[in-house]
Amino acid sequence: MSPWLRQHRFALGAALSTVRKSPGSFLFNVLVVALALTLPFAGITLLDNVRPLSEQLSVDPEISLFMRDDASRADAEALAPRIRQLVAQQGKGEAEIAFVPREQALASLKERSGLGDVLETLGDNPLPDSYVMKLGGFASAGAAGQVDLITERLAELPGVETVQVDSAWVKRLAAMLAILRLALLLLAATLGIVVIAVVFNTIRLQVLTQKEEISVSQLLGATNDFIHRPFFYTGALLGLCAGAVALGVVTLALRPLNGAIGEFARLYGSNFQLTALGELEIAGLLAVSAGLGLVGALLSVRRHLARQR
């Protein structure tokens, strides 16, 4: 284990020595890679902040069922067991089912709207008997199809005029977040290739610069692993430093963004603010950045050193 550690310590020292010899070039490459990483890191930060907010907004769907005007009170009340059975067949938790007589609906409308005198002039009650169902356990995007199935089955019941789903926006929100995740994944993959290409070219230039030194080392009996390791460490350091810079840029950008977001959120009675990623997420992104640099260095070294044999 001791020789192995010495070899890697020597390779890391050689990589740091190369960086010290040309700090301007290394810094420029770090900035280029950091620019490529900033956008996906910002998207990940945004999704990480929106995810708990979307979970809070994902309330249980509510279905309203309205009877036809010619349906009798007995017919309307007789549907209660069939509605409960239909919802229970889906097996997604408890459902709150409330029967709302037309008289109660009219009284509630008068109270909420303040148009009692106007409604009195209508004569007969224009509102139908109805049911209001709050479906527990159907808030997830995966249950959207079951909610649609329940709605279709309810519309087929005798005496039913209209069935409305009052929380269809939940499905729209889930679909929008799914699209954002997919777009972010494609963007991250594309920019990841850009990072690998930048590191690939950087290591290629180093290999060409140290061509004579590499040839002498090979004549002295140095193994390929011994020659390759400093370049691998250089690529990993480049990716790691670029990832740190990108995360720093995203973190600094949160303050002015929160100023604008705070004004908008207060209009809706909310104190929503963007927060930086947690330590585990930051460590993961730095590891990914270093890994991309290592992959770029690996591809470059294997291709260009193979030509010198």
User: What is the signed CA dihedral for 179, 43, 274, 281, rounded to 10 degrees?
Assistant: 110
Integer Cα distance of 25 and 234 in angstroms: 12
In the chain, where does the domain assigned CATH 3.30.70.3040 lie? 60-165
Q: Rg for the chain (alpha carbons), in Å?
A: 32
Q: What is the CATH number of domain 60-165?
A: 3.30.70.3040
Per-residue pLDDT tens digits for 30-71: 998 898 899 889 888 888 887 766 555 545 677 888 888 888
More confident residue, 203 or 141: 203
User: What is the signed CA dihedral for 163, 169, 175, 180, rounded to 10 degrees?
Assistant: 170
97 - beta bridge partners? 133
Structure tokens at 229: 């390791």
SS3 275: coil
Q: Which of 77, 85, 62 is nearest to 153 (CA)?
A: 85
Amino acid, res. 289:
S
Per-residue pLDDT tens digits for 254-270: 888 887 777 776 766 66
Mean pLDDT, the chain, integer: 78
Per-residue pLDDT tens digits for 124-161: 777 788 888 877 655 554 555 677 788 888 888 888 88
Q: Are the C-beta atoms of 138 and 61 separated by less than 8 Å? A: yes
Strands of the sheet containing 130-135, edge to edge, are: 95-100, 130-135, 62-67, 160-165
